[in-house]
Amino acid sequence: MRKLIVGNWKMNGLGAALGEAQAVAAGLGEAPARVGLCPPATLVERMARGLAGSAVRVGGQDCRAEASGAYTGDVSAEMLADAGAVLVILGHSERRAGFGETDALVSAKVEAALRAGLEPIVCVGETLAEREAGRALSVVTGQVRGSLPAALAGRDFSVAYEPVWAIGTGLTPTTAQIEEVHAAVRAELRAVLGESGERAPILYGGSVKPSNAAEILSAAEVGGALVGGASLKAADFLGIIAGA
Ligand code: 13P
């Protein structure tokens, strides 16, 4: 299966940045990978319009579990889909840590995404303190078990392993460390979802850049990458895609 490479723009990008998305689409050619871009909510609709007919799929970075209601400031999965999104990142560590998102809440958001027809990318990952305490595998497999609802069986989705200490730091785990966690995630996915857990790509995220992408993407059970900073510039993101 072709790798899935998704860019997470986080809270970056005004209208002028849409040119980068267009440049990604224009530069893909016979892309060796499936590609997605998740801009801030304000840009989802414009980016989706601009990329219509291209191979780049657009996604949101979060959604509320409810479809609508008195939730000032929030965006629902249905709203993202209505704006042209087909993907949504859920349970990112910046949401788990900054907004107190629990596995149960992430699981409810995944159900909302499926209800709206979005393909969820569910993020998991340990902190440095958890890794140093020898708890990386138990934390990550616990997040997989708690964040993935049974409703994912038979649906398209992916899991992104993003060690918190590798996000935005320039640090990356060794290939052996990535392979160890990805193997544990795969085993947990199989246990929770059976055959559907066998098919879902497991992405790696955390300081992926053009210079390390090929090595990371060739590691066992790495089905793609979730890219933050290096997805903001088309040249860098295309360089990562070229490593797939
Ligand atoms: P960086 O690639 O900037 O480390 O961010 C990774 C990430 O959090 C993607 O969701």
pLDDT tens for 44-75 read: 999 999 999 999 999 999 999 999 999 999 99
Nearest atom (ligand 1) to Cα of 123 = 10
Nearest atom (ligand 1) to Cα of 226 = 9
pLDDT tens for 35-44 read: 999 999 999 9
Q: Is residue 184 scored above 80 in pLDDT?
A: yes
Decide: 229 in ligand 1 pocket, CB within 6 A: yes
Which is more confident, 114 or 32?
114
Cα 69 to middle of ligand 1, angstroms? 31
What percent of the chain has pLDDT above 90? Answer: 97
What percent of the chain has pLDDT above 70? Answer: 100
Decide: 207 in ligand 1 pocket, CB within 6 A: yes
Q: Which two tokens stand for residue 74?
A: 């929030």
Q: What are the Cα distances from residue 107, in Å, to 9, 88, 122, 160, 207?
A: 23, 13, 9, 14, 26
- In the annotation, is 182 catalytic? no
Residue 100: its pLDDT value, please?
96
Cα 209 to middle of ligand 1, angstroms? 10
pLDDT tens for 191-239 read: 999 998 999 999 999 999 999 999 999 999 999 999 999 999 999 999 9
- Rounded Cα distance between 200 and 85, Å, is 20
Residue with CA nearest ligand 1 atom 5: 228
Residue 31: its pLDDT value, please?
77
Q: Write down the catalytic residue from 20, 78, 92, 130.
A: 92
- In the annotation, is 66 catalytic? no
Residue 51: its pLDDT value, please?
98
* Residue 149 identity: P
Closest CA to 93 of 188, 196, 226: 226
Cα 145 to middle of ligand 1, angstroms? 23
Q: Which two tokens stand for residue 136?
A: 């990386």
**Average pLDDT, whole number, for the chain?**
97
Nearest atom (ligand 1) to Cα of 208 = 2
Decide: 61 in ligand 1 pocket, CB within 6 A: no
Q: Is residue 127 scored above 90 in pLDDT?
A: yes
Residue 140: its pLDDT value, please?
98
Nearest atom (ligand 1) to Cα of 229 = 3
- Rounded Cα distance between 50 and 25, Å, is 10
Work out the average pLDDT over 132-155: 98
Work out the average pLDDT over 85-106: 98
Q: Which two tokens stand for residue 147?
A: 């964040």
Q: Does the domain at residues 3-11+44-242 carry the CATH identifier 1.10.275.10?
A: no
- Torsion sign over Cα 94, 96, 101, 104: positive
- What distance, in Å, lies between the first and last C-alpha atoms of the chain? 11
Q: Is residue 32 scored above 90 in pLDDT?
A: no
Cα 96 to middle of ligand 1, angstroms? 14
- Contacts of 222 by beta carbon, 8 Å cutoff, 6+ apart: 3, 178, 179, 182, 202, 203, 204, 216
Phi, psi angle pair for 125, to nearest 5°? 165, 150
Q: Write down the catalytic residue from 94, 126, 162, 188.
A: 162
In 92-233, which ranges are continuous DSSP H helix? 93-99, 103-115, 128-132, 136-147, 175-193, 195-199, 210-217
Cα 207 to middle of ligand 1, angstroms? 6
